[in-house]
Structure 1
């Protein structure tokens, strides 16, 4: 059991379990006992002492971001993006402040600084990450914060949702620029970028879902692929059209552990961006393929529940962001 000792006006909890030793100081005995019970349980389950050690009041917000990047981000999808963003936060002098002194005022000052540099949507993505960090620190590391500072500030308003569609001409031009004829097995990394774009246009899968696919996830005889991990945290089976299945067959199915698309997210982003820039195609993102696919699929899947099952959207409002029909197509249905 933990040892709880009163030291002046505070209470110190000390734990020795499985050859590991840690301690922490609290304002009340109840807080010390609560932490000790949780910490002991975590250590006995295999968690390291470092992961259960509370944050000290003199540690800075930068220290908090670094600890999260080291201990939590590796356990999450999007590890690379999180660690890059957290490293960028650490370079801001706004966060070189002790946790016990950091407040919503400091958080708002950072937001105002960033509004002069980037779009509101970028800031809100960063605030989402910071909010997750502060929440984890308060609940798991007993960080000396009265509340989550992100929750106490006003967020900038996001711009209007994107409506960009992908034309057949743009699709063909990108494939041609990247050296893929859309009829043979991709060989070079550039050709795999074009292949990924075409597959996204046929399936409405996200970039991360496409790049995480292994041949063990594909069930071509039954015309679907299984996604065990998605952005919303739920598994999903994606049915394949004849065109989508043909693309998978072009990729030459291999060992179950081999990735279907053998390129990295960073390479895909850079190569796709360079291709659109070189071709003079304006305001086209790889993710726009998901909107184009959802809109095209809606013509064949009129039931919104079926469409959301394919795309993985959990609400109609989110699905509407990706459904952008041509007004003339709707007019033709009216007669």
Structure 2
């Protein structure tokens, strides 16, 4: 029942195991079996790479979602409207946001350190200092200091549970919290930041990965001639 993307990831892991078995322990492993398996999967029409999403929330959708949470008043303990706007202002992942700590916030420089940020090779120790642009710093500073080390003391899974609930209640189709990261990166380009500046905020190591966020159209290039 695994999907193509999961199968592709598992084949990558298996190749590492097979390679170690052949090189280190001299086991009679045929490394071509992985390549042959990938070819067979491709022949069957199974995609092993995830489809890139380009879904961006509209201003009206953001308003509707935030109004749904605000209408709950004191019953809504999780500051979802702040989390939503913070995500769009910083282009951070949900997991990065809920693990931000007060001790890593530099109020003078208006920067914060993201600990162990997601990296294709480095799983631990990839700490990155990023600026809190737009309304991000203001949003962070107005969070109550309850004694928790974190700025947004939210448990894992809470955001991924509450956000789709609000979307469903407001009849908003095919919008995920992670799409707010896409929105944040797109906004940075629209504000005129250069690719290396956007990469510093978003954490992308491969600048080519940012190309899809620019959403440049051929006809827009004529504007530079005017």
TM-score calculated relative to the size of structure 2: 0.76
Q: Which digits, 9 at most, give the CA deviation of each residue in 1:307-333, with x for residues without a partner?
A: 111111112321123333689987766
Corresponding residue to 2:211 among 283, 298, 320: 320
In the TM superposition, what are the counterparts of 1:1-335 in structure 2 within 5 Å? Answer: 114=2, 118=3, 123-129=4-10, 131-132=12-13, 135-136=16-17, 139=20, 146=29, 150-154=34-38, 155=41, 156-157=46-47, 158=49, 160-179=51-70, 188-189=76-77, 191-232=78-119, 233=122, 234-253=126-145, 258-324=149-215, 335=226
Unaligned runs of 5+ in 2: none
Distance 1:126 1:273, change over 3 A: farther
Count of aligned residue pairs for this structure pair: 211
How far off its partner does 1:251 sit? 0.9
Q: For the residues of structure 2 that align with 1:160 and 1:173, how far apart are their CA atoms?
A: 27
How far off its partner does 1:245 sit? 0.6
How far off its partner does 1:268 sit? 1.2
Do the aligned partners of 1:214 and 1:260 also contact (CA within 8 Å) in 2?
A: yes
SS of aligned partner of 1:164? coil
Distance 1:277 1:222, change over 3 A: same
How far off its partner does 1:125 sit? 3.7
Identify the structure with bigger relative contact order (alpha carbons < 8 Å, sequence gap 6+): 2
Q: What RMSD over aligned residues (CA atoms) do the two structures have, in Å?
A: 3.5
Q: For the residues of structure 1 that align with 2:155 and 2:71, how far apart are their CA atoms?
A: 18
Distance 1:246 1:147, change over 3 A: farther
Q: For the residues of structure 1 that align with 2:61 and 2:217, how far apart are their CA atoms?
A: 17
Q: For the residues of structure 2 that align with 1:326 and 1:271, how far apart are their CA atoms?
A: 35
Distance 1:193 1:160, change over 3 A: same
SS of aligned partner of 1:237? strand
Q: Which has the larger radius of gyration?
A: 1
How far off its partner does 1:304 sit? 1.3
Distance 1:177 1:315, change over 3 A: same
TM-score calculated relative to the size of structure 1: 0.53
